[in-house]
Amino acid sequence: MSHVRTAGFVWIVAAVLGALATAVFRVDQVQWVVTLVASAIGLAVGVWLVRRPNATAILASTLAGVGWVALYAILAWVQSGEIAAWVTDAFLAAIGGVGSLLAFRARTQR
Protein backbone atom coordinates (compact mmCIF):
# COMPACT_ATOMS: atom_id res chain seq x y z
CA MET A 1 0.00 0.00 0.00
CA SER A 2 1.32 3.41 -0.87
CA HIS A 3 2.15 5.93 1.80
CA VAL A 4 -0.45 8.28 0.36
CA ARG A 5 -3.18 5.69 0.91
CA THR A 6 -1.89 5.08 4.42
CA ALA A 7 -2.22 8.81 5.03
CA GLY A 8 -5.78 8.59 3.74
CA PHE A 9 -6.65 5.88 6.23
CA VAL A 10 -5.08 7.93 9.04
CA TRP A 11 -7.27 10.87 7.98
CA ILE A 12 -10.36 8.66 8.02
CA VAL A 13 -9.52 7.46 11.54
CA ALA A 14 -8.90 11.04 12.68
CA ALA A 15 -12.23 12.17 11.23
CA VAL A 16 -14.19 9.34 12.85
CA LEU A 17 -12.51 9.87 16.23
CA GLY A 18 -13.08 13.61 15.98
CA ALA A 19 -16.78 13.12 15.25
CA LEU A 20 -17.13 10.57 18.05
CA ALA A 21 -15.39 12.85 20.55
CA THR A 22 -17.72 15.65 19.50
CA ALA A 23 -20.85 13.53 19.82
CA VAL A 24 -19.89 12.16 23.22
CA PHE A 25 -18.13 15.03 24.99
CA ARG A 26 -18.75 18.45 23.45
CA VAL A 27 -21.54 20.62 24.84
CA ASP A 28 -20.77 23.99 23.21
CA GLN A 29 -22.77 24.42 19.98
CA VAL A 30 -20.03 26.35 18.19
CA GLN A 31 -17.52 23.61 18.98
CA TRP A 32 -20.04 21.04 17.74
CA VAL A 33 -20.42 22.70 14.38
CA VAL A 34 -16.75 23.49 13.87
CA THR A 35 -15.46 20.05 14.85
CA LEU A 36 -18.09 18.21 12.82
CA VAL A 37 -17.25 20.32 9.75
CA ALA A 38 -13.56 19.58 10.36
CA SER A 39 -14.36 15.87 10.64
CA ALA A 40 -16.30 15.98 7.37
CA ILE A 41 -13.38 17.68 5.65
CA GLY A 42 -10.93 15.18 7.15
CA LEU A 43 -13.10 12.29 5.99
CA ALA A 44 -13.36 13.72 2.48
CA VAL A 45 -9.60 14.23 2.28
CA GLY A 46 -9.00 10.71 3.59
CA VAL A 47 -11.33 9.10 1.06
CA TRP A 48 -9.78 11.21 -1.70
CA LEU A 49 -6.27 10.06 -0.74
CA VAL A 50 -7.37 6.42 -0.65
CA ARG A 51 -9.41 6.38 -3.87
CA ARG A 52 -7.55 8.82 -6.11
CA PRO A 53 -4.16 9.74 -4.68
CA ASN A 54 -2.70 12.62 -6.67
CA ALA A 55 -0.84 15.88 -6.15
CA THR A 56 -4.04 17.86 -5.59
CA ALA A 57 -5.21 15.43 -2.90
CA ILE A 58 -1.83 15.73 -1.20
CA LEU A 59 -2.09 19.52 -1.27
CA ALA A 60 -5.62 19.31 0.16
CA SER A 61 -4.30 17.02 2.91
CA THR A 62 -1.55 19.49 3.75
CA LEU A 63 -3.96 22.42 3.94
CA ALA A 64 -6.51 20.41 5.90
CA GLY A 65 -3.75 19.29 8.26
CA VAL A 66 -2.73 22.87 9.02
CA GLY A 67 -6.34 23.77 9.76
CA TRP A 68 -6.96 20.58 11.74
CA VAL A 69 -3.92 21.02 13.97
CA ALA A 70 -4.70 24.70 14.50
CA LEU A 71 -8.33 23.95 15.39
CA TYR A 72 -7.53 21.25 17.91
CA ALA A 73 -4.62 23.23 19.37
CA ILE A 74 -7.00 26.13 19.97
CA LEU A 75 -9.56 23.78 21.52
CA ALA A 76 -6.87 22.27 23.74
CA TRP A 77 -5.91 25.77 24.88
CA VAL A 78 -9.54 26.78 25.47
CA GLN A 79 -10.16 23.62 27.49
CA SER A 80 -6.80 23.55 29.23
CA GLY A 81 -8.49 23.47 32.64
CA GLU A 82 -10.09 20.10 31.87
CA ILE A 83 -7.37 17.49 31.56
CA ALA A 84 -9.51 14.91 29.70
CA ALA A 85 -10.66 17.48 27.12
CA TRP A 86 -7.14 18.84 26.73
CA VAL A 87 -5.64 15.39 26.19
CA THR A 88 -8.38 14.41 23.73
CA ASP A 89 -7.91 17.58 21.69
CA ALA A 90 -4.12 17.22 21.71
CA PHE A 91 -4.46 13.58 20.60
CA LEU A 92 -6.83 14.53 17.78
CA ALA A 93 -4.47 17.31 16.68
CA ALA A 94 -1.63 14.79 16.54
CA ILE A 95 -3.58 12.24 14.49
CA GLY A 96 -4.60 14.82 11.87
CA GLY A 97 -1.06 16.14 11.81
CA VAL A 98 0.33 12.66 11.22
CA GLY A 99 -2.10 12.05 8.35
CA SER A 100 -1.13 15.32 6.75
CA LEU A 101 2.59 14.74 7.27
CA LEU A 102 2.43 11.22 5.80
CA ALA A 103 0.76 12.53 2.66
CA PHE A 104 3.17 15.45 2.40
CA ARG A 105 6.21 13.18 2.73
CA ALA A 106 4.80 10.71 0.22
CA ARG A 107 4.48 13.36 -2.49
CA THR A 108 8.01 12.57 -3.71
CA GLN A 109 7.59 8.79 -3.44
CA ARG A 110 4.76 8.50 -5.95
Predicted TM-score (pTM) of the model is: 0.91
The total number of structural domains that make up the chain? 1
Question: Alpha-carbon distance 14 to 45, whole Å?
Answer: 11
Q: Spell out the alpha helix ranges (H) of the chain.
A: 3-25, 29-51, 55-78, 83-106
> 43-102: per-residue pLDDT in tens?
999 999 999 999 999 999 999 999 999 999 999 999 888 898 889 999 999 999 999 999
Domain enclosing residue 63, as ranges = 3-106
